[in-house]
Structure 1
């Protein structure tokens, strides 16, 4: 991979990182309810899932996964999980989070949610099987190139997590009233449900 290819990769990749997908929407909701650090640290769950996908792509297993019936299973599981999250948000009473213990206790759960949402996103599989290889020079060793592209993706994803968490934190200032928080959760839930249903429309190339 040449320096020129890498420089073309960075803005294209960052556009994907900043796309308002289910994980970024989750970061906004978490930051609005629990604060910036909880949302940002919870976002490490998606980084673990994405790192695993990049490793699969680098070893060629992702191509096999993409071409097999496992793709359908992941698509259905991802859609079901997002719709389940949407229902939980819709039915939430949106209690105020006002103690540090509650925020710390929720961090593991948030990271797990981030991981499952990312792992169940079939569009992520398409990104790592169709997008990243476009920037790989087949005339050079591939693993170092995938490592460089993968690390770049994860760093840019951290920036996206920070930006969405920051946006959610400022939204939280408007969510003092329980009624407003409830409607905010319902809006997020509706968007998550729509994204979950869109997963069902993703087809293999």
Structure 2
């Protein structure tokens, strides 16, 4: 196993900060929480992270396959991925706070919530590109085995579940927080800094 404890901790911390940054998954989770009990909203969260798990495994498996073909593919993906993360971080840092008015949604069945959550992730191919760019900073995909990849994917999923459950479980506080421009701006800035740092890590150390 090449995925070290230090890398795992770094991956969890970076993922948690990015997961707390307001985005489509956060706003959709809070909207469902306004219409459903927490235990029902969990089905929506499971759908979201199922999509994240699939994207993470595709990203790592595809990256490892390309790297196995030729070293040049690793260098190309490394530079493109690092540059993409720095671009996302810079864009997040410079953009105004993304406050949105959160409205309740109609009550949905459990399995419909799972499907809705999954489609929210699956319908955003940028998530796959993000994983391809993000993961090389924390796991050496040139030497990583299936166990390393599964562990990294599971850590990402558990962290995303925790951050989304935070918003769902504290929906009243979270709703007020997400409607506060200063709070959203602070979260966005934190996420932007993390993206830039991870982008530099990909370029300089991976």
- TM-score by length of structure 2 reads 0.63
Given that 2:85 and 2:133 are in contact with CA atoms closer than 8 Å, whether structure 1 keeps it comes out as yes
Q: In the alignment, is the contact (CA less than 8 A) between 1:86 and 1:188 conserved in 2?
A: no
Q: Provide the alpha-carbon RMSD of the alignment.
A: 4.0
Consecutive unaligned residues in structure 1, runs of 5 or more: 137-145
Conserved 8 A contact 2:85-2:195: yes
Is the 2:100–2:179 contact (alpha carbons within 8 Å) kept by the matching residues of 1? no
Separation in 2 of the partners of 1:164 and 1:84? 23
TM-score normalised according to structure 1 size: 0.63
* Separation of aligned partners in 2, 1:96 and 1:171: 14
Give the match for residue 58 of structure 2. 52
* Equivalent residue for 1:30, pick from 15, 18, 26: 26
Question: Could you say which residue in structure 1 is the equivalent of 2:14?
Answer: 20
Distance 1:12 1:20 in 2: 12
Aligned to 2:38: none
- Using a 3 Å threshold, how does the CA distance of structure 1 residues 96 and 59 change in structure 2: closer, same or farther? closer
- How many residue pairs match? The answer is 184
Residue from 57, 76, 99 that aligns with 1:93: 99
- Compute the displacement of 1:169 (Å): 2.2
The equivalent residue for 1:126 is: 137
Q: Which runs of 4+ in 1 moved over 6 A?
A: 103-107
Deviations 1:173-205 (A, max 9, x none): 214448844333212211122123324532344
Equivalent residue runs for 1:153-192 within 5 Å: 153-177=152-176, 180-192=179-191
